[in-house]
Amino acid sequence: MVTRMAVGAVRRETTTAKAEETRERIVDAALTLFRDQGFDETTMRDVASAAGVATGGAYYYFRSKEELVMAFYARTAVEARTLLSAAIERSSDLRKRLRTVIDLKFEQFAEHRRLLIAIVRIGIDPSHPLSPFGAETKAMREESIDAFRSALGGPATKIPNDLQADLPRLLWMYQMGLILFWIFDRSHGQRRTKLLLDGTLDLIVRLLQLASLPLMGPIRRKLLAILRAIEE
């Protein structure tokens, strides 16, 4: 029998402590090298020798070089869970709560912009096993979406009933768009992403307030109808 991790190579049921330690050494070596010299510039031979294993050593634990990047993604997801549950509650304003969720992701990613370029190249294709849109990463994705659900949960902004169910997913997609923009934003200190975030978040909160107006009803329903039509 074989167990499959949320993100990770196919692993046998039993693993020794030493093996687990080797695995960690490989991830550490890889992420450090990726961060310091970039994904493309880092050789699997580099990773292996930094981790103190043979040339093909990493392939016992990871199916590919790309999968090593996903180990980073998995690490930050775990970290985010604990950090967020505390932080969200601290503000009651919807705008601020959404900011908290988004800012945390950016803080986590700040050191690893170059690494994320690789993630995007991989992840843009939903049929790739490691895509953030694919089946294999569903658990992680749902957790990220849940962050937005709890950010929406608290405050008094009235949200139309028909929007309730889909809004967290929509906001998650919005966040993915922001991250994409940020990765490729070459303005100083990613100034432009900040402008985009400030502007669009404002706009979103405002639109949510307007969304209850009768005039917006048809448009809102249309939008939701489209959204549902294109889901499988």
Partner DNA sequence: GCCGCGGATTGAACGTGTTCAAAAAGTGCT
Partner DNA sequence: AGCACTTTTTGAACACGTTCAATCCGCGGC
Name the site residues for a second copy (rule: CB under 8 A).
117, 120-121, 124-127, 180-181, 184, 186-187, 192-193, 195-196, 199-200, 202-203, 206-207, 210, 215, 219, 222-223, 225-226, 229-230, 232
The interface region with DNA, picked from 13-21, 110-118, 154-162, 207-215 by CB under 7 A, is: 13-21
Taking CB under 7 A as the criterion, the residue among 10, 54, 78, 124 binding DNA is: 54
Residue of 119, 100, 208, 194 lying closest to 162 (CA atoms): 208
| Residue 157 three-state SS | coil
CA 76/CA 67 separation, integer angstroms? 15
Q: Which residues pair with 4 in a beta bridge?
A: 10
By CB under 7 A, is residue 90 in contact with DNA? no
Closer residue to DNA in complex, CB, 60/181: 60
The interface region with DNA, picked from 18-26, 126-134, 144-152, 170-178 by CB under 7 A, is: 18-26
Taking CB under 7 A as the criterion, the residue among 4, 36, 56, 79 binding DNA is: 56
Q: Where does residue 106 rank: exposed (0-12), middle (13-18), buried (19+ CB within 10 A)?
A: middle
Query: How many residues interact with DNA (rule CB under 7 A)?
Result: 24
The interface region with DNA, picked from 42-50, 94-102, 136-144, 190-198 by CB under 7 A, is: 42-50
CA 38/CA 208 separation, integer angstroms? 40
Minimum distance of a second copy from residue 137's CB (angstroms) = 15
Angle at which helix 138-153 crosses helix 65-88, to 10 degrees, equals 20
Closer residue to DNA in complex, CB, 37/209: 37
By CB under 7 A, is residue 2 in contact with DNA? no
CA 73/CA 7 separation, integer angstroms? 9
Q: What tokens were used for 153?
A: 């949960």
Minimum distance of DNA from residue 26's CB (angstroms) = 9
Residue of 127, 133, 119, 220 lying closest to 169 (CA atoms): 133
Minimum distance of a second copy from residue 198's CB (angstroms) = 8
By CB under 7 A, is residue 83 in contact with DNA? no
By CB under 7 A, is residue 19 in contact with DNA? yes
CA angle, 47 as apex, 53 and 34 as ends, to 5°?
160
